[in-house]
Structure 1
Amino acid sequence: MIGRIEGRLLEKQPPEILIDVQGVGYEIHMPMTSFYQLPAVGETVAVYTHFVVREDAQLLFGFADKMERGLFRELIKANGVGPKLGLAILSGMSAAQFLNSVQNEDISALVSLPGIGKKTAERLVVELKDRLAKFGQQQAIAMPSDVGNKPMDAIVPLNDAKEEAQSALIALGYKAVQANKLITAVYQDGMESENLIREALKAAI
């Protein structure tokens, strides 16, 4: 199994990156919580990885630290949770926030994530509460939830930063209209796509 990769960061296209390791480029999918910690393109980066082999693809998932990777591995063991949903969960919440939500049985926080309905949230709590105890209790980072109350039922035209942010949210499981609403609600002139994704994901919780 490929457990860690270190090399030069060639591309950052959330939620994917490309790392050059001695002439070989590794495409890696990352949760946005880890993506935010990446250095600039061209710099050296090291990520912990989890390798997934399917009939139709071989995929690498990357994480900023071992704890987030460990949490991802526990998530994809849960009934009905695949790598894509695991990635979405860890993009919408930090590892500490997810741990707190499970330990406190905060169903409402979990259902705010894409692809998580009430039944799935309840099942995650039941299946993971004891298993995640080994990660220890951690204080969740408070995140703002008030993103404005403007009506936004239709998809509006997007600039380049908004288009990149919307593509990232859709890749993480959000519907196009929902992604557009979140992006439009938090967008400010001059925002780069990475900050826009960060604020949109905060607004979803």
Structure 2
Amino acid sequence: MIGRLRGTLLEKQPPWLVVDVAGVGYELEASMTTLVAMPGTGEPVSLYTHLTIRDDAHLLYGFAREQERALFRALIKVNGIGPKLALGILSGMDEDAFVRCVMDDDVKALTRLPGVGKKTAERLIIEMRDRFPHWEQPGELPIGGEGATGTVSTGPADPVADAEAALVSLGYKPAEASRMLVGLEDAESTEALIKAALSRRLAG
């Protein structure tokens, strides 16, 4: 099991990262919360990781914080929640916000996340509530994404197109992803666009 990587950030193209560790490039899929927290390419990074082994692939997921990885691992144990949907949930809200939604039975807020319908939201609340007594209390959990300064420096020079593709990869339909980005074209980077679009969607 690969539990953590420390190296140099080579590429950052949402939702993917490539980290060079002693000459080996590790490709990781990450939530938008983690991507926003990353520095620019060429900078040192340290990521907590989770490895999923399938018959056709070994998939590595990266997290800026151990608590985010812990929530990811808890989410994929819920019936019907796979890694892709778990990353979509983590991209839409941080750990603190998710705990509050569960503890407050906030089905409405959870259904604003990509791929989460009413039944899935209700199942998340029922199954996740019992796990949280073993966690820190809401309000003490780290909140990510604030003050991030990194920018995407590889791939096509079209932040709007990159942001739309990233939102689609999280589970939003293309038309919905496009609507989420309307009026946000002046954002400084792809990550800023994605963060603003997700914030707008959750405020919905």
Find out whether 1:196 has 2:196 as its counterpart. no
What is the CA distance between 1:68 and its match in structure 2? 0.6
Q: Does 1:36 align with 2:33?
A: no
Partner of 2:104: 104
Higher relative contact order (CA 8 A, sep 6+): 2
1:36-55 aligned within 5 A = 36-55=36-55
Distance in 1 of aligned mates of 2:35 and 2:123: 28
Is 1:114 aligned to residue 114 of structure 2? Answer: yes
Counterparts of 2:136 and 2:65, CA distance in 1: 15
**Structure 1 alignment gaps of length 5 or more:** 142-158
Deviations 1:87-125 (A, max 9, x none): 000000011111111111100000000000000000111
- Pairing 1:134–2:131 present: no
Corresponding position of 1:150: none
Structure 1 residue 190, shift from structure 2 partner:
5.3
Take 1:190 and 1:118, find their aligned partners in 2: how far apart are those partners? 32
* Structure 1 vs Structure 2 CA RMSD: 1.4
Report the equivalent of 1:2.
2
CA distance in 1, matches of 2:173, 2:98: 22
* Deviation of 1:65 (Å): 1.1
Number of equivalent positions: 187
Q: Deviations over 1:122-169 (max 9, x none)?
A: 01111110112222222397xxxxxxxxxxxxxxxxx81100000110
Unaligned runs of 5+ in 2: 144-156
Q: Which amino acid counterpart does residue 189 of structure 2 have in structure 1?
A: E
Cα distance between partner residues in 2 of 1:36 and 1:89: 15
SS at match of 2:9: strand
> What are the residue-to-residue correspondences of 1:52-71 with 2, within 5 Å?
52-71=52-71
Residue aligned with 1:112, SS: coil
Please state whether the residue corresponding to 1:36 is helix, strand or coil.
Answer: helix
In the TM superposition, residue 57 of structure 1 has moved relative to its aligned partner by 1.3
Q: Give the Cα separation in 1 of the matches to 2:54 and 2:187.
A: 40
Q: How high is the TM-score relative to the length of structure 2?
A: 0.88
Question: 1:100–1:137: 8 Å Cα contact kept in structure 2?
Answer: no
Describe the superposition over 1:40-67 as per-residue Cα deviations: whole angstroms up to 9, x where unpaired: 1001100000000112211001111111
Give the equivalent residue in structure 2 for 1:82: 82
Q: For the Cα contact (< 8 Å) 1:11–1:18, is it kept in 2?
A: yes
The one-letter amino acid of 2:47's match is: V
**Aligned match for 2:168, one of 159, 170, 174:** 170
Contact 2:85 2:115 in 1 (8 A): yes
TM-score by length of 1: 0.88
Q: Distance in 1 between matches of 2:6 and 2:186?
A: 35
Match of 2:177 among 176, 179, 197: 179
Kindly provide the amino acid, as one letter, of the partner of residue 199 in structure 1.
A
Alpha-carbon spacing, 1:65–1:190, altered in 2? closer, same or farther (3 Å): closer
Given that residues 96 and 138 in structure 1 are in contact (C-alpha distance below 8 angstroms), is that contact kept between their aligned partners in structure 2? yes
Measured in 2, the distance between the counterparts of 1:127 and 1:29 equals: 25
